[in-house]
Structure 1
Amino acid sequence: MAVYEAFSYNVVYKHRSTLCSNTTVFLILSALITVIGPFLLAYRSHGFWLKTETYREQPDVLYKHQYIVVVETDHLDTPILCSTFPNLNNFLRDRGLCSLVKSREEDHNNDGRRDELHIEFELSIHNYKAVHSVRLFLLFDYKLRKICSLQMESLGVIQHSASLPGARFDVVADLRLVQKQPLQYRRRDLRYNSSVINAESIFPESFNFQAILLEYAKRNVSTRLGNVYPVWTSGRAADVPFIISATIHYPEETITYIPGFWQVMKWAWIQYLSILIIFIHVFRSIKTYVFSNQLVSSVKEVPWKKVM
């Protein structure tokens, strides 16, 4: 008659020893290496503590309908300037040069957040003046809400110059976030939610563009216009205004932030546990070999069964 394996079970051998013995020292060392070893290995391989993390978010951007337009002509001592700041306009000899300003923001995917800004300026320039350079300052309200909470007033600057006298200037650009340091996780950041340009000042030096940009560049979080595509058109007729047309996209950004405590622990625990399992298996095999070959002093207890 054929014989088959109907059932099987493990036989457990117990090894007993005293506290003050080399067996106890061996077990303590094995336990310490098993617990501490994975931590040291994960830490020394870098990335054990998650110091920074990134995520993707489209910012909530709102054009504040505040601008400064500076146009330089062949009369280098008298640049043409117009703005929405009354105190700045009071310093100007020529006013009302921006005869027409049109702007609109569009939300193409209907997600409640604006995707781009279209803005156009018509400048009434004296016939004898030829335009060679354009500078445009646009102010935005910039918000992040998904993981990091940030609200600030930001600036977009467009500059272009050409040797040929211009009839119009067209530009397409992206409003990009600039981070010099990570944002804080779930912490409301209002450090830069203040005016970039002091509109209430009555002193001309408060509207020094070089000083404004120098102070703005010191920010740890700011915006700039990138991916710029300018088109300069020459040949303006005597009775035609100079046109500035800009399209500013608000693209999705990669935000760098400092993760919270539980996210750090979750990341560290996964790395630690994956190495700990290997250490437990290896030292289990080592202890089996040591005790089965009596390499340390212990009393082996052999299981027995009652004979019926």
Structure 2
Amino acid sequence: MAQLELFSHPGPGVRYRAGLCSTAALGLLLLWALTYLPPLLVAYRSQGLWLKQSTYMEQPTVQFQYEVLLVAMTGADPGSFLAWSTFPAFNRLQEDQLRVPLISTREEDKNHDGKMDQLHFKLELPLQSTEQVLAVQLILTFSYQLHVSVINGTSPFASDYDLTNIIAAYQDRNVTTVLSDSNPVWLVGRAADAPFVINATIRYPVEVILYPLAVV
């Protein structure tokens, strides 16, 4: 603790002189501030005062739309490919390159919560004995829905119920999902009369939704 000593002075008024221990106390206070305050400020900032966004988890509603577009490359030449889709107009454009595959699908609700969790997809493309698939382009379409309300029903601010703001929030709420497989397996070699087979399981994981927090 700082010690304050009082001395008389021949002139009018009174002056003060800090004791020796006040310098040591000031140094200790400065050392404490430099040691403990920065970590406290960083923790406080990350946990509350300057928090700008938060997250929550949601299981999306996903349904396979049974729309498929397939292009299988069989050589390096531009015309060396086979193609098929569920779109008749696309198929009419393929002429000799059109090849109809056998497709089987099954969606599964593993935890019985009323929402599909994965799609089992199998495609068998018939090939001639001289044909070999070198690369594949495959497009599947899905209906993907998240229940994130654009109207904050608990907000006390009139601006959150303004139609212009609601529409703007809806337009800014675009959600993108990416199909990724870090361990695809391509098996080579087949019998002369065997088809080229694509066998895939597409999982619909729980999504982590990131949303901004309003500054009050």
Superposition TM-score, scaled by structure 1 size: 0.46
Deviation at 1:104, TM superposition (A): 1.0
Partner SS for 2:186: strand
In the alignment, structure 1 residue 69 sits paired with structure 2 residue 23: no
Partner SS for 2:89: helix
What stretches of structure 1 move > 6 A for 4+ residues in a row?
Answer: none
Question: 1:91 maps to which residue?
Answer: 93
Deviation at 1:94, TM superposition (A): 3.1
AA of the residue aligned to 2:70: V
1:247-280 deviation digits (Å, cap 9, x = unpaired): 1000111111123x5xx55xxxxxxxxxxxxxxx
- Taking a change above 3 Å as real, the CA distance of residues 86 and 132 of structure 1, as seen in their structure-2 partners, is same
Identity %: 40
CA distance, structure 1, for counterparts of residue 96 and residue 76 of structure 2:
14
CA distance, structure 2, for counterparts of residue 86 and residue 188 of structure 1:
37
Of 139, 142, 158, 1:140 maps to 142
Question: 1:160 maps to which residue?
Answer: none
Question: 1:243 maps to which residue?
Answer: 197
Where in structure 1 are there 5+ consecutive unaligned residues? 1-40, 150-183, 193-219, 266-308
CA distance, structure 1, for counterparts of residue 94 and residue 103 of structure 2:
19
CA distance, structure 2, for counterparts of residue 256 and residue 191 of structure 1:
13
Question: 1:112 maps to which residue?
Answer: 114
AA of the residue aligned to 1:90: R
Where in structure 2 are there 5+ consecutive unaligned residues? 1-40, 151-164
Partner SS for 1:234: coil
In the alignment, structure 1 residue 253 sits paired with structure 2 residue 214: no
CA distance, structure 2, for counterparts of residue 73 and residue 49 of structure 1:
57
- Taking a change above 3 Å as real, the CA distance of residues 148 and 229 of structure 1, as seen in their structure-2 partners, is farther
1:22-69 deviation digits (Å, cap 9, x = unpaired): xxxxxxxxxxxxxxxxxxx89x95752543211111111111111111
Question: 1:58 maps to which residue?
Answer: 59
AA of the residue aligned to 1:114: M
Deviation at 1:191, TM superposition (A): 7.4
CA distance, structure 2, for counterparts of residue 123 and residue 72 of structure 1:
12
In the alignment, structure 1 residue 226 sits paired with structure 2 residue 183: no
Question: 1:154 maps to which residue?
Answer: none
Would you say the 8 A contact 1:148–1:188 is kept in 2? no
- Taking a change above 3 Å as real, the CA distance of residues 189 and 83 of structure 1, as seen in their structure-2 partners, is farther
CA distance, structure 1, for counterparts of residue 64 and residue 172 of structure 2:
19
1:165-200 deviation digits (Å, cap 9, x = unpaired): xxxxxxxxxxxxxxxxxxx99x974679xxxxxxxx
Superposition TM-score, scaled by structure 2 size: 0.63
Would you say the 8 A contact 2:117–2:205 is kept in 1? yes
Would you say the 8 A contact 2:84–2:101 is kept in 1? no
In the alignment, structure 1 residue 131 sits paired with structure 2 residue 133: yes
Question: 1:291 maps to which residue?
Answer: none
Would you say the 8 A contact 1:98–1:121 is kept in 2? no
Deviation at 1:136, TM superposition (A): 1.2
Query: RMSD value over aligned CA atoms?
Result: 3.1
CA distance, structure 2, for counterparts of residue 121 and residue 143 of structure 1:
26
Partner SS for 2:96: coil
Deviation at 1:107, TM superposition (A): 0.3
Partner SS for 1:233: coil
Would you say the 8 A contact 1:68–1:138 is kept in 2? yes
AA of the residue aligned to 2:103: V
AA of the residue aligned to 2:196: F
Task: Specify which structure has the higher proportion of strand.
Answer: 1
